[in-house]
């Protein structure tokens, strides 16, 4: 921990410094300030974890210094030091979230307890920040792979890689006896100097890696890097490289090309790393693949299998791999979980029939659930004023209550009760604004038989009672 001591009395400063450095092996006093102005300057230069701050110092006092420092450095923890046991000082300090207050001369035991408590809080925050960063990286990688939520991508990229100039994807396939954990550990070792995000996909024995660089990446550099990765991972690895780009919206194409390259390299077994070479496809082949994807999206399993049987002989192995990739992208666009079938397991015609059958089932279930949710929401919007229950709405869409409850929460993002409450309160606001009905009448009109209960629900969600909301409307 890095500590600054801000204290106008030299003897007090030196005594505090000596005590801290002799007592704690993991704490270092990196600076001393004799007044508030100097404390602000040192906080900017040294970025400490903890600052001991005397309240009464010449010029800028301790509280004023804390206010200036806190505006820029939210993470710094302050321990107030004062010769005055004043409630007013403590109350003022609470505005900045400061809970630690030591009276001079501070007893050693009290200082030790305070530092240990603050140190523990800092460690917990750092651990929380680390977990949050891991989660944000996972979110960014998923969105880049599937080209979803452009605004969210830009926000996450700005938080995690603000200086990024270029980025690209590597897709690495593990074969033989190696497991993905070994591969990922070796991969992180080779790329330790690079800003990267990793994701393992055990069902496909694949690791997806997005590399960010503050410099412009060029293909020759990436080939050299891929060779280093291959030498570390060994002959049983295949590394597909996506085209580098500075455009966030183009990174999904980098991932797709890296994935295609990885599949091609693994199928050919002639090289272990490289870019996607592409292939010349005639327009008819594109149309056949597109037709299959459309039929799968519509859930027409009999039609898609008949179509595939009729045209299978016209599709090469590479065409089928392209079909597999496009089906994966189809599921990703809809946010639907794809079947856990590897492209390498699709060897026979029967394998493909079973796979397409599974794809259609997944899509049918997805759209059926969307339709059920749409019907349920429509019914609730029409009957919100009645004594609606989850069981009643579930029966309306021919689903069991438990299944409907889980389906509704997943599809709408809120529980049945919360959604019903939103409908009722929105209608209540509209009726209040007309000023044609009493609040008691409105309570009955939106489905609440107890006006007092309606008032409590309204205040909980709107932060105003119905009466306060009505008065605010009338004042406008």
Give pLDDT, residue 269.
83
Which of 360-367's residues contact partners 24+ apart within 8 Å by CB, and which partners?
360/295, 360/296, 360/299, 360/300, 360/301, 360/304, 361/299, 361/301, 362/331, 362/336, 362/337, 362/338, 363/296, 363/297, 363/298, 363/299, 363/334, 363/336, 364/299, 364/301, 366/334, 366/336, 367/299
Integer Cα distance of 228 and 364 in angstroms: 45
Q: What is the pLDDT of residues 287-318, one digit of tens each?
A: 999 999 999 988 888 999 999 999 998 888 77
Integer Cα distance of 395 and 400 in angstroms: 7
Average pLDDT over residues 147-173: 83
Question: Is the pLDDT reported for residue 89 higher than 70?
Answer: no
Q: Do 355 and 443 fall into the same domain?
A: no
Q: What is the CATH number of the domain that holds 435?
A: 1.10.10.60
Q: Do 340 and 297 fall into the same domain?
A: yes
- The H-or-E segment that residue 22 falls in is helix 10-23
Q: Does some domain include residue 325? A: yes
User: Which residues have a Cβ under 8 Å from the Cβ of 215 and sit 6 or more positions away?
Assistant: 165, 166
Q: Is the dihedral of CA 439, 444, 448, 451 positive or negative?
A: positive
Q: Do 325 and 381 fall into the same domain?
A: no
pTM of the model: 0.49
Q: Does some domain include residue 343? A: yes
Average pLDDT over residues 33-41: 92
Closest CA to 211 of 232, 233, 188: 188
Q: Do 263 and 316 fall into the same domain?
A: no
Q: Do 252 and 306 fall into the same domain?
A: no
Q: Do 335 and 424 fall into the same domain?
A: no
Q: Do 178 and 254 fall into the same domain?
A: yes
Q: Do 187 and 271 fall into the same domain?
A: yes
Among residues 234, 255, 275, the one where a domain terminates is 275
Question: Is the pLDDT reported for residue 41 higher than 90?
Answer: yes
The pLDDT > 70 percentage for the chain reads: 93
Q: Does some domain include residue 250? A: yes
Q: How many CB atoms lie within 10 A of CB 196?
A: 18
Q: Does some domain include residue 152? A: no
Q: Does some domain include residue 428? A: yes
Q: What is the pLDDT of residues 236-286, one digit of tens each?
A: 889 999 999 888 877 888 998 899 899 888 888 888 999 988 765 567 888
Q: Do 32 and 81 fall into the same domain?
A: yes
On average, the pLDDT of the chain sits at: 85
Give pLDDT, residue 91.
58
Average pLDDT over residues 357-377: 86
Q: What is the pLDDT of residues 216-242, one digit of tens each?
A: 888 888 999 999 999 888 888 899 999
Q: Do 198 and 223 fall into the same domain?
A: yes
* Locus of tokens 């980098």: 254
Integer Cα distance of 58 and 62 in angstroms: 9
Q: Do 430 and 470 fall into the same domain?
A: yes
DSSP class of residue 282 equals -
DSSP class of residue 245 equals B
Give pLDDT, residue 107.
75
Phi, psi of 34, deg, nearest 5: -95, -5
Characterise 274 by phi-psi region: left (phi > 0), alpha (psi -120 to 50), beta (else).
left
Q: What is the CATH number of the domain that holds 92?
A: 3.40.50.2300
Expressed as residue numbers, the domain containing 179 is 161-275
Give pLDDT, residue 171.
93
Q: Does some domain include residue 178? A: yes
Integer Cα distance of 110 and 48 in angstroms: 21
Give pLDDT, residue 196.
87
Q: Does some domain include residue 138? A: no
Q: What is the CATH number of the domain that holds 214?
A: 3.30.70.2730
For residues 332-342, one letter each, b for 16 or more C-beta atoms within 10 angstroms of the residue's C-beta and e for the rest, the string is beeebeebebe
Integer Cα distance of 189 and 187 in angstroms: 5
146: its two tokens:
């599937």
Among residues 233, 259, 275, the one where a domain terminates is 275
Among residues 89, 106, 123, the one where a domain terminates is 106
- The H-or-E segment that residue 34 falls in is none
The domain total for the chain is: 4
Q: Do 39 and 71 fall into the same domain?
A: yes
Question: Is the pLDDT reported for residue 5 higher than 90?
Answer: yes
Give pLDDT, residue 148.
65
Q: Does some domain include residue 337? A: yes
């Amino acid at each position: 921990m890095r500590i600054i001591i801000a204290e106008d009395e030299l003897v007090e400063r030196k005594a505090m410094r000596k005590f801290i450095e002799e007592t704690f092996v993991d704490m270092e006093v990196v600076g001393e300030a004799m007044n508030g102005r100097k404390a602000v300057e040192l906080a900017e230069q040294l970025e400490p974890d903890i600052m001991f701050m005397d309240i009464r110092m010449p010029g800028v006092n301790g509280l004023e210094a804390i206010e200036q420092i806190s505006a820029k450095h939210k993470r710094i923890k302050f321990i107030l030091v004062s010769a005055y046991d004043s409630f007013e000082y403590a109350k003022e300090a609470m505005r900045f979230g400061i809970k630690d207050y030591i009276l001079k001369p501070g007893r050693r035991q009290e200082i030790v307890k305070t530092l240990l408590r603050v140190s523990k809080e800092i460690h917990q925050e750092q651990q929380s920040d680390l977990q949050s960063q891991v989660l944000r990286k996972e979110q960014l990688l998923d969105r880049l792979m599937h080209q979803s939520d452009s605004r969210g991508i830009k926000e996450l990229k700005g938080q995690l890689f603000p200086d990024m100039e270029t980025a690209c994807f590597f897709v690495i396939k593990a074969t033989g006896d190696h497991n993905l954990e070994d591969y990922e550990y070796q991969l992180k070792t080779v790329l330790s100097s690079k800003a990267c995000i990793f994701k393992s996909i055990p069902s496909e024995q694949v690791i997806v890696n997005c590399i960010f660089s503050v410099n412009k990446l060029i293909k020759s550099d990436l080939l050299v890097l891929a060779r280093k990765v291959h030498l570390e991972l060994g002959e049983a690895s295949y590394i597909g490289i996506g085209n580098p780009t500075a455009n966030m919206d183009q990174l999904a194409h980098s991932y797709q090309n890296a994935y295609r390259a990885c599949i091609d390299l693994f199928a050919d077994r002639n090289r272990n790393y490289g870019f996607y070479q592409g292939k010349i496809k005639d327009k008819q082949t594109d149309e056949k693949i597109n037709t299959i994807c459309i039929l799968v999206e519509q859930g027409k399993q009999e039609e898609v299998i008949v179509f595939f049987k009729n045209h299978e002989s016209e599709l090469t192995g590479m065409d089928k791999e392209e079909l597999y990739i496009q089906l994966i992208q189809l599921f990703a666009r809809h946010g639907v979980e794809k079947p856990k079938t590897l492209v390498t397991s699709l060897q026979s015609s029967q394998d493909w029939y079973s796979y397409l059958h599974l794809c259609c089932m997944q899509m049918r279930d997805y759209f059926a659930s969307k339709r059920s949710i749409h019907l349920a929401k429509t019914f609730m919007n029409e009957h919100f004023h009645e004594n609606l229950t989850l069981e009643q709405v579930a029966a309306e869409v021919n689903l069991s209550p438990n299944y409907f409850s889980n389906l509704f929460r997943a599809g709408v993002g809120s529980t049945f009760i919360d959604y019903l409450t939103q409908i009722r309160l929105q209608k209540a606001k509209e009726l209040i604004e007309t000023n044609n009905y009493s609040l008691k009448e409105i309570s009955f009109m939106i489905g609440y038989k107890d006006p007092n209960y309606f008032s409590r629900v309204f205040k909980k969600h709107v932060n105003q009672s119905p009466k306060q909301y009505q008065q605010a409307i009338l004042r406008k």
